[in-house]
């Protein structure tokens, strides 16, 4: 008797570059990777002063990869006035934000207003709702704002299917993977509530999350991503932070040198080898594969 064996093929994996719009160097690095077919999603900071210019550069890719909102409620300027969260024109640290959202209903209302403004800025620039919503420093998953995020995704779903980034992953999978376990476990704990509430509301989200790292620059970058590409999940999502360092980035964000390490890795032949070895391919959330694109052949902005 002959027994037929079914061999599982490669699995889709969403690789999402965060912080688009933060600085010219970050944007340049992400655009280079998009042109090479090395990313399948981008998350955008729409409250930054350079967002309109950055959005114009992103238009040719808006139907080729997932482009979403990187909700910004910490450490940057707000979208418009925010007298409670940003009385001096700068949003609070993550710890201060989390405390304010727990105890101050006016802070919660102001955070929801920031969400609405940043979504509106996204739509004005790109002409459609985002494919997904996530958060700078994962603030979108905090109690006090996650309900508004889920409601926004559900509401936008009437026009375009919007998914949420879940930072939940099984603690067993985190411990087995190794690496920066403590941060990954904290993110899983923070994200568990959003993951469950989104499922109850019928809002889709990834079923496995990777990307927690020390952000230390150096040769360890590749090994970390090799671990992230392996593991369970039918809809895994890996966050990343590639980019080029410039003066504006250095003035706005402490994460610098590691961005260039990630950029070099994703542009290298070793990255493609690591994907194949892990049995995954870059894809949008719906499973559509992402291929290399010639920027000269990209569609003209409407």
pLDDT tens digit sequence for 206-240: 999 999 998 888 778 999 999 999 987 888 999 99
Q: What is the distance between the alpha carbons of residues 131 and 164, in angstroms, rounded to a whole number?
A: 9
Lowest mean pLDDT among 60-64, 175-179, 277-281: 175-179
pLDDT at residue 235, rounded to an integer: 84
Residue 277 banded pLDDT, cuts 50, 70, 90: very high
Name the average pLDDT for the chain: 92
Q: Could you give the percent of the chain with pLDDT greater than 70?
A: 94
* Residue 294 designated active-site: no
Per-residue exposure over 83-98, b if at least 16 CB sit within 10 Å of its own CB, e if not: eebbeeeebbebeebb
Encode pLDDT of 17-57 as tens digits: 999 999 999 999 999 999 999 999 999 999 999 999 999 99
pLDDT at residue 241, rounded to an integer: 97
Q: Between these two residues, 6 and 43, which has the higher pLDDT value? A: 43
Residue 184 banded pLDDT, cuts 50, 70, 90: very high
pTM beyond cutoff 0.75: yes
pLDDT at residue 8, rounded to an integer: 61
Residue 294 has pLDDT above 90, yes or no: no
Specify the fold of 11-292: TIM Barrel (3.20.20)
Lowest mean pLDDT among 2-16, 124-138, 286-300: 286-300
What value does the mean pLDDT take over residues 103-129? 97
Give the residue among 257, 226, 229 at the shortest CA–CA distance from 243. Answer: 257
What value does the mean pLDDT take over residues 279-290? 95
Residue 75 has pLDDT above 90, yes or no: yes
pLDDT at residue 49, rounded to an integer: 94
Lowest mean pLDDT among 170-174, 275-279, 281-285: 170-174
Residue 270 has pLDDT above 50, yes or no: yes
In sequence order, what are the beta bridge partners of 16?
Answer: 41, 239
pLDDT at residue 301, rounded to an integer: 34
């Amino acid at each position: 008797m002959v027994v037929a064996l079914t061999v599982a093929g490669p699995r889709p994996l969403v690789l999402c570059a965060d912080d688009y719009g933060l600085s010219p160097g970050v944007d340049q690095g992400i655009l280079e990777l998009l042109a090479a077919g090395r990313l399948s999603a981008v998350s955008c900071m729409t409250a930054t002063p350079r967002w309109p210019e950055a959005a114009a550069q992103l238009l040719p890719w808006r139907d080729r990869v997932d482009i979403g909102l990187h909700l910004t409620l910490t450490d940057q300027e707000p979208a418009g006035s925010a007298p409670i969260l940003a009385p001096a024109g700068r949003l609070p640290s993550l710890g201060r934000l989390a405390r304010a959202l727990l105890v101050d209903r006016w802070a919660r209302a102001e955070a929801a207003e920031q969400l609405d403004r940043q979504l509106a800025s996204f739509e004005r620039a790109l002409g459609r709702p985002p494919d997904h919503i996530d958060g700078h420093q994962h603030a979108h998953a905090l109690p006090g704002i996650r309900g508004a995020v889920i409601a926004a995704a559900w509401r936008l779903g009437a026009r375009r299917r919007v998914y949420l980034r879940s930072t939940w992953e099984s603690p067993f999978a985190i411990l087995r993977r190794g690496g920066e376990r403590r941060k990954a476990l904290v993110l899983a704990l923070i994200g568990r509530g959003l993951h469950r509430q989104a499922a109850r509301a019928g809002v889709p989200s990834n079923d496995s999350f990777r990307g927690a790292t020390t952000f230390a620059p150096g040769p360890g970058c590749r090994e970390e991503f090799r671990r992230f590409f392996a593991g369970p999940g039918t809809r895994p999502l890996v966050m990343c932070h590639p980019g080029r360092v410039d003066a504006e980035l250095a003035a706005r964000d402490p994460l610098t040198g590691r961005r260039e390490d990630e950029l070099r890795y994703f542009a290298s032949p070793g990255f493609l080898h690591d994907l194949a070895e892990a049995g995954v391919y870059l894809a949008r959330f719906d499973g559509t594969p992402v291929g290399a694109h010639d920027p000269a052949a990209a569609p003209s902005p409407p």
